[in-house]
Amino acid sequence: MDERKGKPSPGSPESAVPRAVVSRLSLYLRELQHLVNDGNATTNSTQLGTLLGFTDAQVRKDLANFGQFGYPGVGYRCEELIAAIKKILGTDRFWPVAMVGLGNLGRALLRYRGFGEQGFRIAATFDVDAEKIGNTVEGVEVFPLDRLAEVVAAKGIRLAIVAVPAASAQAVADSLVAAGVEGVLNFAPVTLALPERVSRVGVDLAIELEQLSFAVVNRPENP
């Protein structure tokens, strides 16, 4: 997909902290959640760095963007740092999310457990297919697109996932903006024109494969 992953909206306040740092907060959060599940109460920048392949200095520098979290002689208290990172990321609250488009990708995303684990729940889905509208898929009701504004308001939805074909994506984005949605995660292979006040993240899955081909061709045995 075409939209720039990691592109901050120009002039928006989040550009003060590089998007890559924010992305690493998510990685720290996952590792901390694993550590707690494994029974660890504390950790430190060396352990977190080792788990993620970063230097301990990088870990400390990343976290220092957001405050002072360590204790001398203790390191980080896992639950406390989890709570702090969730607050920074805004996932210390529950986010109902709208999903537009119930094709294969939309259905796969509805089943995706990782969203719920981090505080996101797809609260309503929207499609133009009369055969889908009115049904529930994975327990989530399918609404017609023309009820977007009404449902978004009723359910307090601020974030939306666009999983429609490229040709429909901009029209869907315009409807989401008109409905008052504040952030759009776009899976459609186009760059969406959105007003400055709406945040957007594009998903480019080919980047992941490029990371993989880079790793494979840069192994010493694969010149």
* Cβ atoms 185, 161 nearer than 8 A: yes
Of the pair 122, 148, the CB lying nearest a second copy is at 122
Min. distance of Cβ 49 from a second copy in angstroms?
11
The DSSP code for 17 is S
Of the pair 74, 108, the CB lying nearest a second copy is at 108
Cβ partners under 8 Å of residue 188, min gap 6: 1, 162, 163, 164, 165, 166, 168, 169
**Beta bridge partners of residue 200, listed in sequence order:** 184
Of the pair 29, 84, the CB lying nearest a second copy is at 29
Of the pair 97, 123, the CB lying nearest a second copy is at 97
Min. distance of Cβ 147 from a second copy in angstroms?
23
Min. distance of Cβ 133 from a second copy in angstroms?
19
Of the pair 111, 155, the CB lying nearest a second copy is at 111
Min. distance of Cβ 126 from a second copy in angstroms?
17
Min. distance of Cβ 45 from a second copy in angstroms?
16
**Beta bridge partners of residue 122, listed in sequence order:** 97
* Cβ atoms 152, 181 nearer than 8 A: yes
List, in sequence order, every beta strand (DSSP E) within the chain: 42-43, 76-77, 95-100, 120-127, 136-137, 140-144, 159-162, 183-186, 199-202
